[in-house]
Chains A and B, each alone.
Chain A
């Protein structure tokens, strides 16, 4: 294993990290096992459920189908790195108010994806929110609370902007 390890250098939640990683290790495992950032959850490791969604250079990506070695020189943000992000704070508030989470396992990925939807689609109606979020699966909430939470944030932002 270690004979094949590659050294990478990347930024994780604003901190410079140098690490020697096995080429086959995916970013999700790297973040969880090595950086102890266990907020990134692995729901399928097939790139379908979206629980492991994180930001790479500000864009949402599936950490389970991204190799850690492919992230050399990149900037990675996990849910832990969004603690002080104003939009993430609005979303956390809205998810709680609208009961957008139950067991909480899909939630970190939902927040990262929802943040991207709010930024990219300030005009989104509910069907558009559903389509934009369709890369993330939840087994508890039936999605109603999540859609309502994103709706709430978009509406509040539009009201404030107006």
Chain B
């Protein structure tokens, strides 16, 4: 277990300080270096021929004579020894899909790569792609997960008995409660399929470095070391022959946390042609071929007593996992997570949840910011409001009735999740006060002059972050997080280089890890350089996902710097001819009483004047690689209550957010400005999930949005000026008491907004349960209720 301290006073530039970002200047001058900015001598561009149909057998591929040699198919890759992507889960009953990097005789979703074309420019490569004729014998399509699990549904993978990657069953002791509970409410709840939409699409530049004799893949990824492992498996190439580099990455949100077929293809083409090649995902490719997140369906029942005290939750949940299992997270992570986290932050005893990871003719599911939690929170928080309605209490009161109270922390919930710390009920009380609920209730009573209906909604969640080893080992997927390592090196002029295997793509790690190092060593931020996201330069890491980087890599940075601090202290003491006792490292100098020697002087001694070193000096010098794991393998649990006040126009179905408050607890914040930024950004994405974002499919599995004009992400005028209130309960298990916070903002908005809309529509007797809550959906629900009346 790491040493726990309570740094974070906010003074200076260490842990807790709101310092400006080291990343900003280059990005503000257009001098970042993204994959698309890289040009290598002789570089060729790639364009993919993609399937225009959702399910078909390929009966022929005709390549025009003049383009032979510029077009490659799976037959070429397979002849070259390339293997399909296999992302297997060890959970019993998991059915294995094999995903060839280019379709192997069959296509299973619109946008699936079928062939790759090489030319001097992207435009010319697209011309060639347009000239390739692929003959498809179309097959019946699974475009909806609930149809796909019915007997007789067409099979996505012919050799499977059905279309279910995995079924899981959690709990089960529910029958007696179901028979006797005074209150029983049921809902059918659904979230839509979404695209993650980082503003920079995916991209990759591949070349064979003849000098180092390595394949170098520069790619827009969150996890370079995992991409290297996956490439090694698919290309049958030793990992030592592969270097994966992530340059500046323009947002990820999960979409850049996988091994992509296009990465395998680019790597193989670069080696085959012995030329650098580049592929840049364009927006249409992203929207069509990467509509891969969030699609859940719940049949859920809550049992409660007459006060609204939860007695049990029972649910069946389906997740549309798409056509293949992605590497490394697999097709089952999301649905399996539903089963384990549906109980949310609540304390109740009886639970049963059955989940299905359903295979359909859509792009393979990839974990998106918040992963299953956004859907789970959407379902569970609707049930809390439904129970409150049934027992005639305010929804916030029913939350207080059921949330794990602070005196029970740390707490093991009904699915054995170990909540580390915090005061969940207090987050609700503060949210109720901050949104000024009484004022809105009064306004609801008096009515609006314009006929709109006012609603207030709440949603509370807790979020496991910095996942440990046991849970991932339990899933048995290709990636299990263990210890995280960091390397810290004092430079000969007294600066500091940090090397971490995670990757920063907006999370501000170049600044925040420097703050952690500064907290320990006192070296000024401008003298600290973070090297990240490069398998050739950094220790192994599973990468940036699951809100883990500050807890894990930040913890490793602190650990490595502490070891350095001790070595600096001993050399410094010797230089001052003092014994080691009573000598301290403080403010960038080693001090013994009134005497002091700077880190710069100590560095000079180690590198340039070793004759002055003590005879028993640590031979590791001023360079340390240290490993770290938190004191608990269960990760950290940040939590929040979101409160929203909004107006619904029952005539046109339009929703306007009038106020939005987040009361959250991320434990100790390394940089409060950065934490706020993560929350603001997460809420914006959550607003998209709640009100706008949906990739519609027709019955043939055709995606019906392919530009930003028809796939709507929230802009300046759709996102509220969110107000954030911090609670600061340190985790007892981590360095400085930090908790992961990167995903949380995106979890609660759909639930809070849905509850607010239902609060507004209550006078009409209308309930909406599906996201996104578009004007059509709201008007549809109103019309349906009127029709039934």
Q: Which residues of A contact B (CB under 8 A)?
A: 1, 22, 24-25, 32-33, 36-46, 48-49, 51, 78-80, 83, 92, 95-97, 99, 101-108, 111, 126, 129-131, 133-134, 136-147
- Residues B681 and A46 in contact, CB atoms below 8 Å apart: no
Which residues of chain B are near A96, meaning CB under 8 Å? 20-21, 24-25, 28
Which residues of chain A are near B673, meaning CB under 8 Å? 99
Q: Does B788 belong to the interface (CB within 8 Å)? A: no
- Residues B683 and A142 in contact, CB atoms below 8 Å apart: yes
Query: What does the 1/0 interface line of B15-27 toward A look like (CB < 8 Å)?
Result: 0000011011111
- Residues B249 and A103 in contact, CB atoms below 8 Å apart: yes
- Complex CA–CA separation, A95 to B674 (angstroms): 13
Task: State how many angstroms separate the Cβ of B682 from the closest Cβ of chain A.
Answer: 7
Which residues of chain B are near A141, meaning CB under 8 Å? 677, 680-681, 684
Among B30, B197, B681: residue with most chain A CB under 10 A: B30
- Complex CA–CA separation, A97 to B200 (angstroms): 24
Interface of B is mostly: loop
Report which of B123, B282, B506 forms a contact with A140, defined as CB distance below 8 A.
B506
- Residues A99 and B685 in contact, CB atoms below 8 Å apart: no
Among A39, A102, A126: residue with most chain B CB under 10 A: A102
Which residues of chain A are near B200, meaning CB under 8 Å? 41, 43, 103, 105
Which residues of chain A are near B683, meaning CB under 8 Å? 142
CB-defined A-B contacts under 8 Å, sample of 12: A41-B200, A45-B283, A46-B707, A48-B707, A95-B28, A99-B676, A102-B506, A102-B681, A107-B27, A107-B30, A139-B199, A139-B713
- Complex CA–CA separation, A142 to B662 (angstroms): 13
B651-681 residues with Cβ-Cβ distance < 8 A to A are: 673-674, 676-677, 679-681
Task: State how many angstroms separate the Cβ of A51 from the closest Cβ of chain B.
Answer: 6
B696-723 residues with Cβ-Cβ distance < 8 A to A are: 707-709, 713, 715-717, 719, 721-722
Which residues of chain B are near A42, meaning CB under 8 Å? 36
Given contacts A49-B283, A134-B715, list 17 more A-B pairs with CB under 8 A: A1-B124, A33-B39, A39-B30, A41-B250, A43-B283, A45-B282, A92-B29, A97-B20, A102-B506, A103-B249, A108-B30, A126-B721, A131-B717, A133-B716, A137-B708, A137-B715, A142-B745
- Residues B674 and A99 in contact, CB atoms below 8 Å apart: yes
- Complex CA–CA separation, A136 to B713 (angstroms): 11
- Residues A103 and B250 in contact, CB atoms below 8 Å apart: yes
Task: State how many angstroms separate the Cβ of B689 from the closest Cβ of chain A.
Answer: 13
Q: How many A-B residue pairs have CB under 8 A?
A: 171
Q: Does B248 belong to the interface (CB within 8 Å)? A: yes
Which residues of chain B are near A38, meaning CB under 8 Å? 30, 33-34, 36-37
- Residues A79 and B283 in contact, CB atoms below 8 Å apart: no
Which A residue sits closest to B673, measured CB to CB? A99
Which B residue sits closest to A37, measured CB to CB? B30
With A48-B709, A96-B20 as known contacts, state yes or no: A143 contacts B30, CB within 8 Å.
no
The 4 closest A-B pairs by CB, nearest first: A39-B30, A104-B27, A105-B250, A142-B680
With A43-B200, A107-B27 as known contacts, state yes or no: A143 contacts B719, CB within 8 Å.
yes
With A39-B30, A96-B20, A145-B677 as known contacts, state yes or no: A102 contacts B708, CB within 8 Å.
no
Which residues of chain A are near B248, meaning CB under 8 Å? 103-104
With A38-B37, A103-B198 as known contacts, state yes or no: A147 contacts B685, CB within 8 Å.
no
- Complex CA–CA separation, A133 to B20 (angstroms): 24
Which residues of chain A are near B445, meaning CB under 8 Å? none
Task: State how many angstroms separate the Cβ of B579 from the closest Cβ of chain A.
Answer: 46
With A22-B123, A41-B200 as known contacts, state yes or no: A101 contacts B24, CB within 8 Å.
yes
Which B residue sits closest to A101, measured CB to CB? B27
- Complex CA–CA separation, A37 to B462 (angstroms): 44
Q: Which residues of B contact A (CB under 8 A)?
A: 20-21, 23-34, 36-37, 39, 121, 123-124, 197-200, 248-251, 253, 282-283, 505-508, 673-674, 676-677, 679-685, 707-709, 713, 715-717, 719, 721-722, 745
Among A44, A108, A137, A145: residue with most chain B CB under 10 A: A44
- Residues B251 and A140 in contact, CB atoms below 8 Å apart: yes
Which residues of chain B are near A107, meaning CB under 8 Å? 27-28, 30
With A134-B715, A139-B199 as known contacts, state yes or no: A102 contacts B507, CB within 8 Å.
yes
- Complex CA–CA separation, A20 to B197 (angstroms): 34
- Complex CA–CA separation, A145 to B31 (angstroms): 21
Task: State how many angstroms separate the Cβ of A106 from the closest Cβ of chain B.
Answer: 5
With A43-B199, A79-B29, A96-B21 as known contacts, state yes or no: A142 contacts B722, CB within 8 Å.
yes
With A103-B506, A105-B250 as known contacts, state yes or no: A46 contacts B34, CB within 8 Å.
no
- Residues A145 and B27 in contact, CB atoms below 8 Å apart: no
- Residues B123 and A24 in contact, CB atoms below 8 Å apart: yes
- Complex CA–CA separation, A143 to B37 (angstroms): 25
Which A residue sits closest to B251, measured CB to CB? A103
With A139-B197, A139-B685, A141-B681 as known contacts, state yes or no: A130 contacts B717, CB within 8 Å.
yes
- Complex CA–CA separation, A145 to B508 (angstroms): 14
- Complex CA–CA separation, A45 to B197 (angstroms): 14
- Complex CA–CA separation, A96 to B506 (angstroms): 13
- Residues A145 and B24 in contact, CB atoms below 8 Å apart: no
Task: State how many angstroms separate the Cβ of A5 from the closest Cβ of chain B.
Answer: 12
Which residues of chain A are near B23, meaning CB under 8 Å? 104
Which residues of chain B are near A51, meaning CB under 8 Å? 199
- Residues B685 and A143 in contact, CB atoms below 8 Å apart: no
- Residues B708 and A49 in contact, CB atoms below 8 Å apart: yes
Among A24, A25, A38, A144: residue with most chain B CB under 10 A: A144
- Complex CA–CA separation, A141 to B23 (angstroms): 15
Which B residue sits closest to A126, measured CB to CB? B721
Task: State how many angstroms separate the Cβ of B121 from the closest Cβ of chain A.
Answer: 8
- Complex CA–CA separation, A22 to B716 (angstroms): 36
Task: State how many angstroms separate the Cβ of A55 from the closest Cβ of chain B.
Answer: 13
- Complex CA–CA separation, A44 to B708 (angstroms): 7
Which residues of chain A are near B30, meaning CB under 8 Å? 37-40, 78-80, 107-108
Among A79, A101, A104, A107: residue with most chain B CB under 10 A: A104
- Residues B721 and A144 in contact, CB atoms below 8 Å apart: yes
- Complex CA–CA separation, A144 to B677 (angstroms): 8
Task: State how many angstroms separate the Cβ of B293 from the closest Cβ of chain A.
Answer: 13
With A44-B707, A111-B28 as known contacts, state yes or no: A105 contacts B282, CB within 8 Å.
no
- Residues A106 and B199 in contact, CB atoms below 8 Å apart: yes
- Residues A137 and B199 in contact, CB atoms below 8 Å apart: yes
Which B residue sits closest to A36, measured CB to CB? B39
- Residues B722 and A144 in contact, CB atoms below 8 Å apart: yes
With A41-B200, A145-B680 as known contacts, state yes or no: A134 contacts B721, CB within 8 Å.
no
With A39-B30, A99-B677 as known contacts, state yes or no: A143 contacts B282, CB within 8 Å.
no
- Residues B31 and A39 in contact, CB atoms below 8 Å apart: yes
- Complex CA–CA separation, A26 to B478 (angstroms): 42
Which A residue sits closest to B28, measured CB to CB? A92
With A25-B123, A130-B717, A136-B716 as known contacts, state yes or no: A103 contacts B680, CB within 8 Å.
no
- Complex CA–CA separation, A133 to B253 (angstroms): 24
Which residues of chain B are near A131, meaning CB under 8 Å? 716-717
Task: State how many angstroms separate the Cβ of A52 from the closest Cβ of chain B.
Answer: 11
Report which of A104, A137, A139, A142 forms a contact with B253, defined as CB distance below 8 A.
A139
- Complex CA–CA separation, A141 to B679 (angstroms): 8
- Complex CA–CA separation, A146 to B709 (angstroms): 23
Among B21, B37, B250, B674: residue with most chain A CB under 10 A: B250
